[in-house]
Amino acid sequence: MKRLFADSFFFIALLNERDACHRRAVEVSRDSRAVIVTTRWVLAEVADALCAPAWRGQAGAFIEFVLTSPGFIVQGRSDELFVRGMELYRSRHDKEWSLTDCISFVAMADEGLSEGLTGDRHFEQAGFKVLLG
């Protein structure tokens, strides 16, 4: 099984047919050999981005699917990951990385993952391979 980290970029592209990366996100999501790793903070970012009434129901149902599906691993069920992400956030004064990105970088390192389902160039700055965008 191939394990890939999914950023909110991936989930939003997957849900939005008009997104430029939608087709690629769908292809990855249909790969039965892939296990997608993410964090609860990425899911919160997805919910925040899709909070408009037109998207809210679909986003909520999708996040519930991610939380209960065996094809996904959701990290961050304890506060330790948040604390370590916050440490990275505070230590990198030279970057514009969000707290969610910092938590993602820590989770990826913990899982030994080098590739991210994202188009966010901050992942490249942190030394990860970006697979979308």
Strand partners, 36: 4, 72
Q: Does residue 101 carry a pLDDT above 90?
A: yes
Check residue 83 and give its pLDDT. Answer: 93
Distance CA 67, CA 14 (A): 16
Tell me how many helices (H) and strands (E) the chain has. 7, 5
| Domain chopping of the chain, boundaries | 2-130
Is 83 in contact with 99 (CB distance < 8 Å)?
Answer: no
**pLDDT tens digits, 47-94:** 999 999 999 999 999 999 999 999 999 998 778 999 999 999 999 999
Question: For the chain, how many residues are written?
Answer: 133
Please state the pTM of the whole predicted model.
0.90
The pLDDT tens digits for 110-120 are: 999 999 999 99
For 102, the enclosing helix (H) or strand (E) is helix 99-111
Q: What is the pLDDT of residue 76?
A: 84
Decide which of 3.30.1330.30, 3.40.50.1010, 3.40.50.2300, 3.40.50.300 is the CATH code for 2-130: 3.40.50.1010
**Count of C-beta atoms within a 10 Å radius of residue 22:** 16
| CA proximity to 105, closest of 119, 90, 122 | 122
